[in-house]
Each structure stands twice: as C-alpha cells, then as structure tokens.
A = this chain, B = another copy of it.
C-alpha cells in the first residue's frame, strides 16, 4: 500500500496555520458554525484531516482560533467606525452601530463566537484571550472619553456592563427573539440604555 506522504514542506508551519485559518474563516462565513467541518477545511487547502489535528489539536481549538480572528476583525471594524465619525461626532452611537453592523454583516462569524463552547477541560490560549480583549479595550477608552475621566476601575466596571447591555439587545435582534417579542429597532433601544446609564453615572459623581 502506498499511503503516507511524509513531510512535504510546501509551507512553513506559520504559513500552514494561516492557510487553515483563512480557509476556515471563509468556511464559517459561508456555512456558519453548524455547517463547519474541519475535514472540509482540509479538502480546500489540499491537506489531509490529520494535518489540521497536528496543527490545532482539535476541531474545538481550531474554532476558538477562528473566533479570535473574528474578534480581531470586529475590533478593526470598530476602530474604522470611530475614525470615520471623528473627534466631535457621536462616538457612542458609532460604537453601538459598529457592534450591531458587524453582527448583521457577518452574522455567521458573530453567531459562531457566542454559540461555540470549549469543552470543560480546554481553555483559551493566551493569543486567543489577547485577541478578544481588543474589543473591550476600545470600549473602555470611549467610555472614559464620554465621561471625561481617566481609565480607572469605575470606567472598566461600567464598560463591562455597557457591553453586556448592548450584547443582550444585539443577541436578541440577531437571534429573532427581539422580533418575536414584537420589537422593532433593537439598536436604537440599546443606544438609549447606554446613554441612560452614562448620564446616571455623570449625575452620581458630580
């Protein structure tokens, strides 16, 4: 039997990782997490299933890496939106719009992030954690700016909660629960909640 091919070195390890991530990210965008298959990724890049496992360890870890890639793209998208409105624009509205727009434009990427659960015995790699922190950082900076305050514990605590609030509205909007409950504009409602909270804090600490 002539079965194994041994090391080919068509690509370096780093190139191979990028190849897999790139093809995998495109596949998630196309078919969503439900239709995702590590085998299909292997097929598309012309490597075998075994190679995917060699490089990423498991399908779950590959998906985690793909979701981190989505987070990074999302953070970049938010930065662009903020850049576009400029220093005097409505930066909070841009931030909320950026959250929703990313979810609407890249629904499969977005739902994959929140639908995927790592097995209990697995945890995020440091690279994954770092990538996912970018988004939080952007929001923290904007909240500090909106409150004319330095980035302190209060601002971080508040940002966390505001992200959760916007996320809840966005998750319901994308998942259909918002419409099921008879709602129309989830984004506007989310923005109203954000303004409300920030103005409550402003009153509080004045």
Q: How many residues of A contact B (CB 8 A)?
A: 38
- Beta-carbon contact of B114 and A117 below 8 Å: no
Of A115, A181, A197, the most chain B CB neighbours within 10 A belong to A181
Answer yes or no: A46 CB below 8 A from chain B CBs: no
- Beta-carbon contact of B171 and A157 below 8 Å: no
Bound-state CA distance A161–B192 (Å) is 10
Answer yes or no: A160 CB below 8 A from chain B CBs: yes
Interface residues of A in 157-191 (CB under 8 A from B): 157, 160-161, 163-169, 171-172, 175, 178, 180-183, 186, 189-190
- Beta-carbon contact of A164 and B136 below 8 Å: no
- Beta-carbon contact of A117 and B117 below 8 Å: no
Interface residues of A in 86-133 (CB under 8 A from B): 111, 114-115, 117, 124, 129, 132-133
Beyond A164-B165, A165-B193: 19 further Cβ-contacts under 8 Å? A111-B117, A114-B171, A115-B115, A129-B180, A132-B180, A156-B181, A156-B182, A157-B183, A160-B178, A160-B182, A160-B189, A161-B192, A163-B172, A165-B168, A165-B169, A171-B171, A193-B197, A196-B197, A200-B200
Please name the 4 residue pairs, one residue from A and one from B, whose CB atoms are nearest each other, closest first: A168-B168, A164-B168, A167-B168, A164-B169
26 examples of A-B residue contacts, CB within 8 angstroms? A32-B117, A34-B117, A114-B114, A117-B175, A133-B180, A136-B181, A156-B182, A160-B189, A161-B169, A161-B189, A161-B190, A163-B168, A163-B172, A164-B168, A164-B172, A164-B178, A165-B193, A166-B168, A167-B172, A168-B168, A168-B169, A168-B171, A193-B193, A196-B196, A196-B197, A200-B200
